[in-house]
Amino acid sequence: MIFSHLSPLLRLPVLASLTREGLLRMDPETAHGATISALRLGLAPEQDQADPPELKTTLAGLDLTNPVGMAAGFDKNAEVPRALARMGFGMVEIGTVTPLPQAGNPKPRLFRIAEAEGVINRMGFNNDGHDEVFRRLSETRVPAALGINIGANKESADFVADYARGVTRFAPLADYLTVNVSSPNTPGLRDLQHEEALTRLLAAVLEARGKAPVRVPVFLKIAPDLDETALDVIAKVIAATNLDGLIVSNTTLRRDTVAGMENADEKGGLSGKPLFDLSTRRLAQMRQRTSLPIIGVGGIHSPQTALAKFEAGANAIQLYSALVFGGLDLLDRIKRGLAAAVRAEGKRNIAELVGRKTDAWAADVVDI
Ligand SMILES: Cc1cc2nc3c(=O)[nH]c(=O)nc-3n(C[C@H](O)[C@H](O)[C@H](O)COP(=O)(O)O)c2cc1C
């Protein structure tokens, strides 16, 4: 139960409903806002032990005390990166941030599929914009790797220029940058994954990175709704650049895993448990095509599913949706489970388990 160890504070009426059950009874966006407020007030549980040495990871030159990150979209406006780091995430990715502030799509735009522990969102990059997020981050020291996820304004006449501006603006503050071309909620954005557009985008982004005072690693975040031919194209394009890594994957437009369930027909991207198989298969298929670092995201909801991402080929992982259903103690369970799995295999570090089931995951023959 989230915040349950803070029982005296929970007597305050505003906080009384901030148990997992209470949050699940609220409208999803209200619940999210309440969680951010609670974290801002310093009510997050803090990690009280150092991470186990089995989880120490180097990712694109970044030293992580553990390879489990908060995925983009939870803290779009960099309101609580420090609280998230102190809870024990090895990396915290804020954003997506666009050059200008924008309101996003009309509400409601966030839905739970309780039956499948899935989430559908069509937020549409609601965020405070570069200036405000830059200001907030300039005043914050984050004791974890800080990722800044950048995007384009919906009404922008030049998507590529928006990304380049994001790189220039945030390179001095970020430990890594994520180029998000995979949100389904900004019309045309996913087209940037096509060969010609992606080539042009990465050239502009990496040129902007080259001019920054420090060399910040850049990751490209892709959609799971790409077939193997599209993955071939991405692999070919990135091989000709000095991109640092991939994030696989964003949310899916598919609904086969939730067909007939309440809210399943809402428009937007599906995440959580029903995304796990698809995103893990795409991760493995991408691992077959590149030796770059990959952050595996999508549907992680247990220590077993976290381990599966590494076995499929991830060097680090992120999660978001499962925290809605499982509560924040899931992070701790995942980290303990991963360290135990390393020891059970007679290994010393999680890196030794990376990719040992890539081919099976790519062929979709793993059952967990
Ligand atoms: C409400 C919500 C908002 C999101 N917003 C963003 C975003 O702004 N940028 C982005 O790259 N991914 C965004 N995502 C996608 C997540 O970062 C992640 O890739 C996806 O949810 C799969 O992971 P999960 O199943 O653990 O949630 C969002 C996801 C959710 C549920």
Ordered DSSP codes for 293-360 = -EEEES---SHHHHHHHHHHT-SEEEE-HHHHHH-THHHHHHHHHHHHHHHHTT-SSGGGGTTTTHHH
213 and 334 assigned to the same domain: yes
Side-chain-side CA neighbours of 330 within 13 Å: the count stands at 23
Give the pLDDT score at 367: 76
In a domain, 300, yes or no: yes
Rounded to whole angstroms, the maximal C-alpha distance in the chain is 58
In a domain, 325, yes or no: yes
Residue nearest to atom 15 of ligand 1 (CA): 250
The residues, ordered by sequence, that sit 6+ positions from 13 with a Cβ below 8 Å of its Cβ are none
* Alpha carbons 239 and 248: distance in angstroms, whole number: 17
In a domain, 225, yes or no: yes
Q: What is the DSSP string of 233-285?
A: HHHHHHHTS---EEEE---BS--TTTTTSTTTTSSSEEEEGGGHHHHHHHHHH
In a domain, 367, yes or no: no
Give the pLDDT score at 83: 95
Give the pLDDT score at 19: 75
Q: Which amino acid is at 78?
A: A
28 and 111 assigned to the same domain: no
38 and 153 assigned to the same domain: no
C-alpha of residue 121 to centroid of ligand 1, in Å: 8
Number of domains composing the chain:
2
8 and 152 assigned to the same domain: no
* Two structure tokens written together for 33: 């806002």
In a domain, 257, yes or no: yes
- Domain span at residue 312 reads 53-362
Contact call for residues 313 and 286 (beta carbons, < 8 A)? yes
* Alpha carbons 75 and 182: distance in angstroms, whole number: 18
In a domain, 368, yes or no: no
Give the pLDDT score at 185: 92
267 and 294 assigned to the same domain: yes
pLDDT along the chain (368 residues), means of 10: 41 53 87 90 89 97 98 98 96 98 97 96 97 97 97 96 98 97 90 90 98 96 96 97 98 97 97 98 98 98 98 98 86 97 98 98 87
Q: Is 23 exposed, middle or buried (CB count within 10 Å of its CB: 0-12, 13-18, 19+)?
A: buried
Pocket of ligand 1 (CB under 6 A): 71-73, 76, 95-96, 110, 119, 121, 123, 149, 180, 183, 221, 250-251, 271-272, 275, 297-300, 319-322
227-233-238 Cα angle (round to 5): 125
36 and 63 assigned to the same domain: no
27 and 172 assigned to the same domain: no
20 and 65 assigned to the same domain: no
Give the pLDDT score at 142: 96
* Alpha carbons 333 and 157: distance in angstroms, whole number: 45
Give the pLDDT score at 20: 78
Peptide bond into 249 cis (omega under 30): yes
* Alpha carbons 19 and 17: distance in angstroms, whole number: 6
pTM: 0.95
Q: What is the atom index within ligand 1 of the atom nearest the CA of 299?
A: 25
7 and 137 assigned to the same domain: no
221 and 197 assigned to the same domain: yes
CATH of the domain at 103: 3.20.20.70
The residues, ordered by sequence, that sit 6+ positions from 267 with a Cβ below 8 Å of its Cβ are 120, 122
Residue nearest to atom 23 of ligand 1 (CA): 298
* Alpha carbons 88 and 102: distance in angstroms, whole number: 30
Give the pLDDT score at 326: 80
Contact call for residues 313 and 337 (beta carbons, < 8 A)? no
* Two structure tokens written together for 190: 């996913």
In a domain, 1, yes or no: yes
In a domain, 245, yes or no: yes
Considering only CA atoms, give the Rg of the chain. 19
Q: What is the DSSP string of 208-240?
A: HHHHSSS---EEEEE-S---HHHHHHHHHHHHT
* Alpha carbons 129 and 95: distance in angstroms, whole number: 9
4 and 135 assigned to the same domain: no
C-alpha of residue 3 to centroid of ligand 1, in Å: 23
Give the pLDDT score at 18: 62
Give the pLDDT score at 327: 75
**Mutational test site, ligand 1, from 126, 248, 250, max ligand atoms within 8 Å of CB:** 250
89 and 186 assigned to the same domain: yes
